[in-house]
Structure 1
Amino acid sequence: MPAMKLYVPHVGHMEGLQKLLADPSKIHSVYMAGSPDYIGTGRTNLSAPTLESIAEQTEYAHEKGVKIDMVLNSSCMGGQQLTPEGYRAIGWYLDRLNDIGIDSLTVADPYLIEMIAHEYDMETVVSVLSFVDSPQKAEFYEGLGADTIVVDPVVNRDFGKLEAIRDVTSGDLKLLVNEACLYQCPFRYAHFNFFSHANGPGPKPNVIDDYYYYKCLSLRIRNPEQIIKSPWIRPEDLSEYKHITDMFKIGGRTHFVEWILNNINAYYNESYDGNLLDLLDSIKDLKDTFYVANRDLEGAIEQWEKCDKNCHKCGYCKRLAENIIKIQTEDGNKKLSSIRNPEDI
């Protein structure tokens, strides 16, 4: 198996890229969002780089031996991509990215996947927001021309499915290691559709708050075993996946560079001594509430490798959560208390 390839998030401006690539030896590729005026993305845009900035950053990354991936993974474009005006606008933007020398494009819409695969030299990457969770879907997207598929994390612990996807595909597979969404999340489709419109071409929705995010947090606070059930992959467990792929993606392009660098070091070294929640994207607001000692999860992968996903019969993650998740409280000095006590939640 070749050396591990890490795909790492980038907020989108040159200063951040320079910090990320201070030591480029650990990074295979960085990914960032483009302009929301053409195609939205499945995350909040903290930066919307101009084409001039993208060109400058691409040149800088290539000088460091690092590839650039543009994430244009809107899960919903309201049908605009199929209108003459939308087709021309998207085509114009993709032409510019191709001229700049972007290495790959990550997209979610099957129409765009086929379009990019047949009309451009850039590598076509199927986004995690295409929800490829079966060999049948993987075959479908590869048939459209996809070079790489980012597998839906919902099957990160379903080794039978992962191995079946590997068996039927000839292209590359990439695993997202630290997203930490709820397992079988009921909000996932609606949440990413919301992001796609909020961070894409106008008119943008004038929303009061992100219902889905705060509902997700509240479910974990009331039921912390959901933290354990989330299909993240510990840095120490990457070796269990290397017969499937050598490509691992770290989520988190809405985080500060220091947070991203901490993740890079953890996954590159395949080791982390601290609170697992320090590494997880999407639930960063819980890292000061719960403490999950990463070392306490040693050996859990052996159970997950044979898990049949019948949580109501198994109870393993519930028991594990009761044993290792601690509540962080401020009482002069930070201390930990067990979640076994209901009054602590």
Structure 2
Amino acid sequence: MAVYTHELYNRISLGWNQDEKFIPEIAAKYQEYITEIFFSPPLALKLGNGKEHYKELELEAYREQLTEIKAAYPHIGLNMLYNFFCMGDHLKPDKIKKLLDIPQKLDVGIEMLSVSNLLLAEIIMKELPHIKLHLSVRLNIDTFEKVAFLVDKYGEDSIYCINLGRNSVYQLPLFQKLKREFPGIKYKIILNEFCTRDCLDSDLHSQMKAHNSYLHVERFLCASYQKHNWWRYFTGQGILPSDIHHWFGQMDIFKISSRWLPTDQIAKIMEFYLNGEEVSLGDIIYTIGQGGTRFRYNPEFMAEIDVDRKYPQDYWNRRSKCKFNCTECGYCKQVADSFLKGGSNNGTAVVSS
């Protein structure tokens, strides 16, 4: 186990869960590693019906907690998410004005906005040029040409940070090329999202998070996978804590999805990554993984796996060379088999002790 406190200094983007314990147990304890916290607008503003945090504070308490964080830890940026996956009536002039006025009216020191569509991005570039603009993972920016298009259209100086798409996480040569060609932009990836690759429910997931008060996880396709396709659970783009060092020097910001999580769970995730720990499948399912939680909605899968087993020793080596030809490759099938009770590793996916 290695300790990565130096490498992760001021590099972690963390979701604020609106819990009263967040400041003493997270912001205070891990302040030197947190470069920003991200959060949605308060529900009281009625921009949507989505429940996007572990707790949902009333407006005044929301403002007080953010003000306290900013006063105590001024280096931590406040990044508000405008992740309205479908804009609808928000495109009306009066609604747009309301969106643009929110950072100033909240008066808590918001310097950053994350957006999930380019129409709103263009408006913010024009009307709020002082705001540091983040492009959301929901824009699915996962190729060099997509970034090149954005730079050609808006200029490198107009975009502060790009949260690169979920399917790009293991493409280190892409990151190297982006840093070389467009060094003025910061690049971010999500560490703990273990959702399946090529998911056909990703749009539904995003819409439900934005607009529903309850996320019906049990209705997603991944909750009903059968034994022949359980291997798809292991195609996700999450990064194991023991592998995070491979991204050092390639990535500016490491995001931990944590808005929905209780504070003690956020602290455990921070420790896993700061210490580069070798984790078990149970650690992913029950603690680390956003997306790993979907596994729990499949009782047949949970009954047949050994959650105490650790990931294969060749996992990084194989995943970093992934050609995204899952049905032909078979490696993730071998990984899945290695977690089955009494399963063998076929000599390729070697389970570490």
Which of the five TM-score ranges fits, normalised by the shorter chain? 0.7 to 0.9
1:40–1:77: 8 Å Cα contact kept in structure 2?
no
The answer for the alignment partner of 1:308 in structure 2 is 323
Listed as ranges, the gaps of 5+ residues in structure 1 are 200-206, 327-336, 341-345
User: Conserved in 1, the CA contact under 8 Å of 2:137 and 2:163?
Assistant: yes
- Say which SS state the counterpart of residue 311 (structure 2) adopts: helix
Given the alignment of the two structures, is residue 234 of structure 1 paired with residue 244 of structure 2, yes or no?
no
| 2:63 aligns with one of 52, 55, 66 | 55
Give 1:173's match in structure 2, choosing from 176, 187, 193: 187
Q: Deviations over 1:170-221 (max 9, x none)?
A: 310001011112101111123212332326xxxxxxx9x8377542221276
Q: Please list, as runs of the form range in 1=range in 2, the aligned pairs for 1:256-275 lying within 5 A after superposition.
A: 256-274=262-280, 275=282
State whether residues 187 and 251 of structure 2, in contact with CA within 8 Å, keep that contact through their aligned partners in structure 1. yes
User: Hey, what's the Cα distance between the residues in 1 that align with 2:50 and 2:36?
Assistant: 19
Query: What does 1:168-247 correspond to in 2, within 5 Å?
Result: 168-169=181-182, 170-198=184-212, 210=216, 213-219=219-225, 223-247=229-253
The equivalent residue for 1:133 is 142
Match status 1:68 vs 2:65 = no
CA contact (8 A) 1:272 1:294 kept: no
User: For each residue in 1:65-84, what CA deviation from the matched residue of structure 2 results, as whole angstroms up to 9, or x when unmatched?
Assistant: 43322222121121x23212
Q: 1:77 to 1:251 in 2, by over 3 A?
A: same
d(CA) in 1 for partners of 2:237, 2:245: 16
Count, aligned residues: 319
In structure 2, the CA distance between the partners of 1:71 and 1:285, relative to structure 1 (3 Å rule), is same
Match of 2:40 in 1: 33
Shifted more, 57-66 versus 47-56: the winner is 47-56
- Go from structure 1 to structure 2 and tell me whether the alpha carbon gap of 1:159 and 1:294 turns closer, same or farther (over 3 Å shift): farther
1:158 corresponds in structure 2 to: 171
Select 1:284's aligned residue among 293, 303, 308. 293
Match of 1:124 in 2: 133
- TM-aligned CA deviation for residue 104 of structure 1: 1.7
- Counterpart of 1:332? none
Alignment partner of 1:8 is 2:21: no
Residue aligning to 2:94: 85
2:131, 2:309 → 1: CA distance? 38
Q: CA deviation at 1:54?
A: 3.9
Structure 1, 257-266 or 288-297: larger mean CA deviation: 288-297
> Are residue 113 (structure 1) and residue 113 (structure 2) matched?
no
Alpha-carbon separation, structure 2, partners of 1:21 and 1:305: 33
1:293-304 pair list within 5 angstroms: 295-304=310-319
- Counterpart-to-counterpart distance in 2, 1:310 and 1:162: 21
TM-score by length of 1: 0.81
Distance in 2 between residues matched to 1:270 and 1:315, nearest whole Å: 27
* Residues 159-168 or 268-277, more deviating: 159-168
The amino acid of 2:114's aligned partner reads T
Q: Secondary structure at the residue paired with 2:12?
A: strand
Post-superposition CA distance 1:148-167 (Å, at most 9, x none)? 00011111123343334434
Cα distance change, pair 140–35 in 1 and its aligned pair in 2 (3 A): farther
Residues 50 and 210, structure 2, Cα contact 8 Å, conserved in 1: yes
SS in 2 for 1:44: coil
2:116 aligned partner, one-letter code = A
Q: State the 1:42 CA deviation.
A: 7.8
Comparing 249-258 with 217-226, greater Cα deviation is found at 217-226
User: How far apart are residue 280 of structure 1 and its match?
Assistant: 0.4
Whole-angstrom CA distance in 1 between matches of 2:141 and 2:61:
32
- C-alpha offsets along residues 74-107 of structure 1, whole Å, 9 cap, x if unaligned? 21121x232122112212213324x421132222
Instruction: Check the 8 A contact 2:172/2:250 in 1, yes or no.
Output: no
Q: CA RMSD in A?
A: 2.9
The verdict on how the C-alpha distance between 1:71 and 1:29 changes in structure 2, with shifts beyond 3 A counting, is same
Conservation of the 8 A alpha-carbon contact between 1:38 and 1:90: no
